[in-house]
């Protein structure tokens, strides 16, 4: 048995892994969050669903099947009011750029800024959405699946600001804040973020699974 409780998060995004580790450790002392680079390679499913929950579910179930560990997956994105909720589930690949995350993030941010160039400040409302799914083994043979959602409302600004976070954090100011989520200290971002809200909701379920095993 491992010295510390372990969960698998189906991502290579180091920002997401650090965020998940930081938040879960407050609820599950000593928890170790493993990412895709920490387990043997497996065929990763395509994110073909039209909803955040659908994409998170297929990733969590694939992770559980491949690793046997309680598996978390999230799908998240930015829904911009002036773009009728886009990029939404396409947020990570909005600009269609492949390669390193930093390059993809910059291309996505540049495209979003150009699409909103003529949109006045009062119409630049947006919301980050996140669905986190936990898939765990069960005695019935069918995985048990738990899903939670989190939302953070705010607005898209006109230039990149900040060096923390990832993705669209450099362009997004949450309601009640004049700094971007990339300029917030990690703990302050966790307190208001869509992912932080979802993880705090699912953390007790993760803790129950790790302490009780299947069917928790």
The annotation status of 96 as a binding-site residue, yes or no, is no
Q: How many CB atoms are located within 10 Å of the residue 43 CB?
A: 8
For residue 52, say whether it is annotated as part of any ligand binding site: no
Whether 13 has a binding-site annotation, put simply, is yes
Contacts 24+ apart (CB under 8 A), 33-40: 33/6, 33/7, 33/8, 33/9, 33/72, 34/6, 34/7, 34/8, 34/9, 34/67, 34/69, 35/8, 35/9, 35/10, 35/11, 36/10, 36/11, 36/12, 37/12, 39/8, 39/66, 39/67, 40/66
Is 67 annotated in a binding site? The answer is no
Q: Any binding-site annotation on 77?
A: no
Question: Annotation-wise, does 15 bind a ligand?
Answer: yes
Structure-block tokens of residue 40: 């043997």
Q: Are 144 and 136 in contact (CB under 8 A)?
A: yes
**Active-site residue (options: 3, 43, 75, 110):** 75
Does the annotation count 74 as an active-site position? no
Residue 197 marked ligand-binding:
no
42 is in an annotated binding site: no
Q: Is 180 annotated as a binding residue?
A: no
Sequence-separated (6 or more) residues with CB below 8 Å from residue 100:
none
Select from 101, 11, 102, 87 the least CA-distant residue to 50: 87
Q: Does the annotation flag 194 for ligand binding? A: yes
Secondary structure (3-state) at 198: helix
Q: Which residues are annotated as a binding site?
A: 11-16, 75-76, 166-169, 189, 194-195
Q: Which residues are annotated as a binding site for substrate?
A: 11-16, 76, 166-169, 189, 194-195
Q: Which residues are annotated as a binding site for Mg(2+)?
A: 75
Instruction: Please list the active-site residues.
Output: 75
């Amino acid at each position: 048995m491992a010295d510390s409780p372990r969960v698998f998060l189906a991502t290579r995004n180091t920002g997401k892994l650090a965020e998940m580790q930081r938040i879960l450790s407050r609820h599950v002392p000593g928890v170790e969050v493993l990412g895709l680079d920490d387990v043997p390679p497996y065929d990763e499913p395509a994110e073909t669903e039209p909803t955040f929950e659908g994409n998170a579910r297929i990733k969590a179930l694939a992770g559980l099947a491949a690793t046997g560990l309680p598996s978390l997956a999230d799908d998240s994105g930015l829904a911009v009011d002036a773009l009728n909720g886009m990029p939404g589930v396409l947020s990570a690949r909005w600009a269609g750029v492949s390669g390193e995350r930093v390059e993809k993030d910059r291309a996505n941010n540049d495209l979003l800024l150009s699409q909103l160039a003529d949109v006045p400040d009062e119409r630049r409302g947006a919301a980050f959405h996140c669905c986190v799914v936990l898939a765990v083994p069960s005695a019935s043979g069918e995985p048990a699946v738990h899903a939670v959602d989190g939302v953070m409302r705010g607005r898209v600004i006109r230039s990149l600001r900040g060096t923390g976070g990832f993705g669209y954090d450099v362009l997004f100011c949450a309601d009640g804040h004049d700094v971007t989520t990339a300029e917030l200290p990690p703990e302050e971002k966790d307190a208001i973020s869509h992912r932080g809200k979802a993880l705090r909701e699912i953390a007790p379920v993760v803790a129950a699974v790790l302490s009780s095993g299947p069917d928790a």
